Structure 1
């Protein structure tokens, strides 16, 4: 059975507004620059997540078919309509999640991420292993920032 990614959007929020779940009201974006440290939110289908050994990195969303995982990333380049980022995964990724990444990322190396938020320091107190680079699509209201 082929898995498809959920509908995605991007939200950039100031550090003081970061909480779980993320704020529902729109927040005015700030400039997306190279080197900006952010966090990105991936939504994993529950059937994939349930087979995964990465449960500690996934947060259950109540009454949802998805698990959420917030992972740190660094902006590599702003392409105006997309942002290339390096995902800094705090550990190893197991085979099931890796297969899922490959299935949604095999053609263009472009992810439509659920959300993106700014952080000022590493959210995990360990050295981060750089896992892969991907592209974040920017919605019209953020283009040109």
Structure 2
């Protein structure tokens, strides 16, 4: 009896849980997701920009290296916008506005990212202060032992 209830529950939940997942795989890729631009200079600009943008699904790969469907869509957006005459800086700004600072491997200093830049400097200053203090004590101890 319990098995029958479990099978019925799984049969009812399968379309809800797996439907969106299956729908993403059946969508055709965007035209510029895997096709390079005809102009080598424009493609070089697009490729350089794609290497600096993070795949939001993979998170450890750039959109140039990722095979995720979302990275393909982002590559398409980059190439389409380059082809339309937008600069890489404008495209980066659009993607950051759309997906947040996390999409960029080289974030800019802003109200939400300043700790990323300030904390390492503070840690280095603290380590330097501790080292100077210890060296000062060591020199003072050597001077008194003579």
Which structure ranks higher in relative contact order (CA pairs < 8 Å, sequence separation ≥ 6)? 1
Please tell me whether Structure 1 or Structure 2 has the larger radius of gyration of its CA atoms. 2
Same fold (TM > 0.5): no
Structure 1-normalised TM-score? 0.22
**Structure with greater proportional helix content:** 2
**Structure with greater proportional strand content:** 1
Structure 2-normalised TM-score? 0.22
